[in-house]
Structure 1
């Protein structure tokens, strides 16, 4: 599938689908998790973060997620409304709870993470929720890997991909590997490899691409409960080749402070430098990257400039305490890159 984003009369420039949560982040930055005295309440989840980031940059974004019919759901819904993210298609799921995340912040490289996602509302997205979306009025749809982890969400994602293909809509996969959300980490790769041919664009870290081709549990190691930053062993070149062979028109490999690499079938790797900054919290950097990159693609920028925009957004967010609540505005990104030589 080609990376083509037609301009049309839209309900939303971008729709993201998948998880959302209340994020409780340590207010004691630098303290070990067991010594935290208080948490600050934010919102998060890969799709929610991306939708918020794109909205703050100035485009129309929408989110499809499941929220519990509870006060935490109210908290997240209120945040999205205030951020001008379209919420019309977000269902309230009875007999399920809105997801929650707890995070310790020990910069520069230790961020223990605890998920509370048992019977979470967003995993109950179903076929009827997909049928309610006017896909013909959306330019780009972003999926997260975690949404494929369980039914009914998994089957709903398959229907959404069919709808995108039927309407010629560009699709982006944020690989979003969270090992503890899968019964077996090898299942992650089996499921994602089966849907890769349906995606125009794939975005992930080296570790996430290796997870997509994981064959042995011993290749995976999680230290200090850093669920979002596992260590994986494997052949990264083979993983990159596998994604491109599956049919993606564009693959972006996020490489942290080094920036990102851009791959297209039959073309050499293009290295896109990042923006060095002092790190406060790495969680959300990839989502900010995806928001900035998606913005550039939707604006018709070159892929190089779009990746550079993603790098800038990611660099800004790691200097801040949280994710969605701290996504940069376009004016902030513009000033940030101007001070560092531009895009």
Structure 2
């Protein structure tokens, strides 16, 4: 570890934001909310991490689910979490927000004796701060003596080792006790007290950032130029950034000029404003990306303006801050749309560069079958309701194999399970830590239709059904499609897949598209690749593909070329089984050896069909059914692992 392996440590607020999803409605009337990490320092820690800086956060969270959510999300974003302390006596801060119209954003802070407001000097870790090149403090945490002392201590430590101090004025009048609980949206109330509290801080700062209203409170004047000059007197060496909303920003390194505009500026980005909350945090994340790397101010301003523009065009705060890949694309290509939230290319880049991590491989026991298990139950005269219990046994089998290989997460083990018969099995798979995919299609439908009705079998609202799923569950959609299908049929199926993709993106959920072409036409070496190409041409970009086995390695090579050309961020391909004999499956594994995008398999009936028939007929008990499925699944895992090893004797796997 180098001495300064962290670029910036942010200090202060970390809350859970609940955003009302009914845009234009009153908070009184909100019916549902989206959850995200909030609070200026937490947002900036996430934003800078997404833009390639190494960031850390010093704050407090409660010893409850929301506190764990903040800690886990910070870790997922790559933020150093050593400075996040758990306060057993206090709850995590909470903010409730809405969008009433383009200029009105109702906001309620739940911060009475909350964890992050109790920050004090004991939370300041000298060892953590010794690793950073800069520290960011916020005006809000100078509103209370204990948190102010904590920030001042951090500033002294960082300045003492030659680091830089950043002040985000972050003025919230009601967090200073100047307005009531119902005034969370209010951005400015003149206060000599606040100005006096901030004044002695300014001289210890290398960078001071605020809106014009925040410049007014820090400088003690409602005249922006006068306020800037007052700040300059107290901070003669600081870089001052004045954020001006749609006008972008102006940066002053020396004397304050006679006109506000006569400072350094970067190009602006005229867009449609959707929600201004959190835009400043995105802006500062972008500015720090340039400033901490000593880029020209005009370049840092352009990054900052672009980040702010992207953020205000979307609903949430930290989740909407762009990644470095997304920002670079926007700076080079811009957008033809003023409403950036409708830009498909930008949204795709945002999704694939900020989505949760996934296993490097997927080794799954597929037991999402419905009509196939119903047919087996009917054949042996069993009650169909027993199918649900059998699916739980399948999860037990998968868990046994996963545990034998070091655990579900380590080995990428998973399940395909449905909601009609697999409700209890889905719970069991979640508790076992198994990666889980869940079907949305109406079984066997061609053209494609969706399940979603009250019985899980009849058509219904796709989005309404999926909103009840855990977001970790992958939506799987099987489409029987062949490149020689009639155009009307192909167009209809693509339209339905587009609906699934839209629902998944809105819910932050991975999408897996399964294609079976061989049941509806000849299967040549280019058949599946042609279907994949057609889907990409229609704007479909699933996170995963599930494809039928290809005996010809050239067929896999064609599929990989299509994916690489259209979506290099695709997570990969899993191979399905189609109830093939085990020796055929093992042979198909060998054909995809060496294909980097083929990440694993999802095999079902080849594993469970015979045990299901015997179990439903009462010929074997639970334990034997689990053992038989586990042995077959384990044999396929061994065959997969040795598929590319010509020196390995896989006779045992083939025999299995």
Task: Answer whether TM exceeds 0.5 for this pair.
Answer: yes
Write the distance in 1 (CA, Å) between the matches of 2:97 and 2:60: 22
Matched, 1:249 2:238: yes
Q: 2:266 touches 2:300 (CA, 8 Å); kept in 1? A: no
Runs of 4+ in 1 over 6 A off after TM superposition: none
Q: 1:18 touches 1:144 (CA, 8 Å); kept in 2? A: yes
Write the distance in 1 (CA, Å) between the matches of 2:91 and 2:214: 27
- The alpha-carbon deviation at position 60 of structure 1 amounts to 0.9
Q: What's the counterpart of residue 328 of structure 1?
A: 322
- The alpha-carbon deviation at position 13 of structure 1 amounts to 1.0
- The alpha-carbon deviation at position 89 of structure 1 amounts to 1.7
- The alpha-carbon deviation at position 267 of structure 1 amounts to 6.2
Write the distance in 1 (CA, Å) between the matches of 2:256 and 2:146: 38
Write the distance in 1 (CA, Å) between the matches of 2:22 and 2:5: 41
- Structure 1 residues 298 and 279, CA, compared in 2 at 3 Å: closer, same or farther? same
Q: What's the counterpart of residue 98 of structure 1?
A: 92
Residue of 191, 194, 202 corresponding to 2:200: 194
- Structure 1 residues 214 and 44, CA, compared in 2 at 3 Å: closer, same or farther? same
Write the distance in 2 (CA, Å) between the matches of 1:252 and 1:291: 13
Deviates more, 1:170-179 or 1:152-161: 152-161
Q: 2:210 touches 2:242 (CA, 8 Å); kept in 1? A: yes
Q: What's the counterpart of residue 227 of structure 1?
A: none
Q: What's the counterpart of residue 521 of structure 2?
A: none
Write the distance in 2 (CA, Å) between the matches of 1:9 and 1:20: 27
Map 1:1-343 → 2, pairs under 5 A: 9-184=3-178, 185-214=191-220, 234-247=222-235, 248-266=237-255, 268=257, 269-340=263-334
- The alpha-carbon deviation at position 88 of structure 1 amounts to 1.1
Give the 3-state SS of the residue equivalent to 2:308 in structure 1.
helix
- The alpha-carbon deviation at position 183 of structure 1 amounts to 3.1
- The alpha-carbon deviation at position 194 of structure 1 amounts to 1.5
Write the distance in 2 (CA, Å) between the matches of 1:272 and 1:261: 8
- Structure 1 residues 293 and 114, CA, compared in 2 at 3 Å: closer, same or farther? same
Q: 2:119 touches 2:150 (CA, 8 Å); kept in 1? A: yes
Give the 3-state SS of the residue equivalent to 2:145 in structure 1.
coil
Deviations 1:90-143 (A, max 9, x none): 111121111100111123111111101111111222212214443232012111
Deviations 1:217-270 (A, max 9, x none): xxxxxxxxxxxxxxxxx1111101111111242100000111001112236423
Deviates more, 1:184-193 or 1:36-45: 184-193
Q: What's the counterpart of residue 218 of structure 1?
A: none
- The alpha-carbon deviation at position 340 of structure 1 amounts to 3.6
- Structure 1 residues 313 and 277, CA, compared in 2 at 3 Å: closer, same or farther? same
Q: TM-score normalised to the size of structure 2?
A: 0.47
Instruction: Point out where structure 2 has 5 or more consecutive residues left out of the alignment.
Output: 179-190, 258-262, 336-656
Deviations 1:187-230 (A, max 9, x none): 22111111100100000000111122448xxxxxxxxxxxxxxx
Write the distance in 2 (CA, Å) between the matches of 1:173 and 1:107: 30
Q: 1:244 touches 1:264 (CA, 8 Å); kept in 2? A: no
Deviations 1:42-63 (A, max 9, x none): 1110001101011111121101
Write the distance in 2 (CA, Å) between the matches of 1:267 and 1:244: 8
Q: What's the counterpart of residue 220 of structure 1?
A: none
Count of equivalent residues:
316
Deviates more, 1:160-169 or 1:268-277: 268-277
Write the distance in 2 (CA, Å) between the matches of 1:146 and 1:327: 22
Write the distance in 2 (CA, Å) between the matches of 1:311 and 1:289: 6
Q: TM-score normalised to the size of structure 1?
A: 0.88
Write the distance in 2 (CA, Å) between the matches of 1:10 and 1:131: 15
Q: 2:83 touches 2:128 (CA, 8 Å); kept in 1? A: no
Q: 1:52 touches 1:80 (CA, 8 Å); kept in 2? A: yes
Write the distance in 1 (CA, Å) between the matches of 2:80 and 2:20: 29
Q: 2:209 touches 2:241 (CA, 8 Å); kept in 1? A: yes
Write the distance in 2 (CA, Å) between the matches of 1:301 and 1:26: 38
Q: What's the counterpart of residue 3 of structure 1?
A: none
The root-mean-square deviation of aligned C-alpha atoms, in Å, is 1.7
Q: 1:22 touches 1:44 (CA, 8 Å); kept in 2? A: yes
- The alpha-carbon deviation at position 186 of structure 1 amounts to 3.4
Greater length-normalized contact order (CA 8 Å, ≥ 6 residues apart):
1
Instruction: Point out where structure 1 has 5 or more consecutive residues left out of the alignment.
Output: 1-7, 216-233
- The alpha-carbon deviation at position 85 of structure 1 amounts to 0.5
Deviations 1:286-328 (A, max 9, x none): 0001101001112220122111111111111111111111211
Q: 1:175 touches 1:204 (CA, 8 Å); kept in 2? A: yes
